Amino acid sequence: MYSISSRRIFASSLLTILWVPVALGDTLMVIREGSGASADSTSTVRFWSGENRIARIDDNSRMIGDLAAGMLYIVDDQARTCHGVSTRDVDRDLPALQKAVEAVQFRKTGKSEAVGPWQAEVHELTGGNDGIEMVVWITGEFDVDPIQRAYMESVATPESAAMLAVYDLGGFPVRSEIQMGPIQMWTELESIEQKAAPAGTYEVPAGYSGCE
């Protein structure tokens, strides 16, 4: 069973799979996300992507991913602590995940809407992932980067199969709205650019407890 915080990571990961036209430097995406209908619950996430590295940074925490090592680190800079999680669980049922992804069904609504500067087609989840209701806005201006897809595959579960199946729709999900039981979440891409990441962006802090 996964915690609410883990589910939020899966949901926000919909917007962490990006297209990089040239494999040089780093890419920064700025994402707005929220829960429920209240504007007070809105936050901004900066998501950096480099060669086999990711960093998800919000107002409260950081998540650093070393894809080559198969590790994710949740960093709390105020408490100076770190929690490492392996994405290579030997007990992970990959055939069950693949079967769950294949069972997911989306329907094109026929609607095309503007999301920021991008025009996007609206897709609705119609079956195959019980307990989740989802609407995604897909633009054809972006595509899925294989390395970043590998990151999502490393953290997805059968319960979050719909979030992985989105990447089989083609294009790029610039907005998502998700309902999982009492949990309501949405994410929206605000901007994307290639620029050098600040020093230390992908590094696990030295001296923090739990990072060994």
What Rg do the C-alpha atoms of the chain give, in angstroms?
17
129-162 pLDDT, tens digit per residue, is 777 888 999 998 877 666 667 677 777 777 777 7
Question: Is residue 96 in a domain?
Answer: yes
Question: Is residue 97 in a domain?
Answer: yes
53-90 pLDDT, tens digit per residue, is 889 998 888 999 888 888 889 999 889 999 998 887 75
Question: Is residue 133 in a domain?
Answer: yes
Residue range of the domain that includes 174 = 4-194
Question: Is residue 208 in a domain?
Answer: no
CA angle in degrees (0–180, nearest 5) for 16-28-209: 75
Question: Is residue 140 in a domain?
Answer: yes
Percent of all residues in the chain with a pLDDT value above 90, rounded to a whole number: 28
pLDDT category of residue 91 using cuts at 50, 70 and 90: low
Question: Is residue 199 in a domain?
Answer: no
Q: How many domains in the chain?
A: 1
Read off the pLDDT of each residue in 105-109 and give the average, rounded to a whole number. Answer: 92
pLDDT category of residue 24 using cuts at 50, 70 and 90: low
CATH number, domain with residue 173: 2.50.20
Could you count the other beta carbons within 10 Å of the beta carbon of residue 201?
18
Question: Is residue 34 in a domain?
Answer: yes
Question: Is residue 206 in a domain?
Answer: no
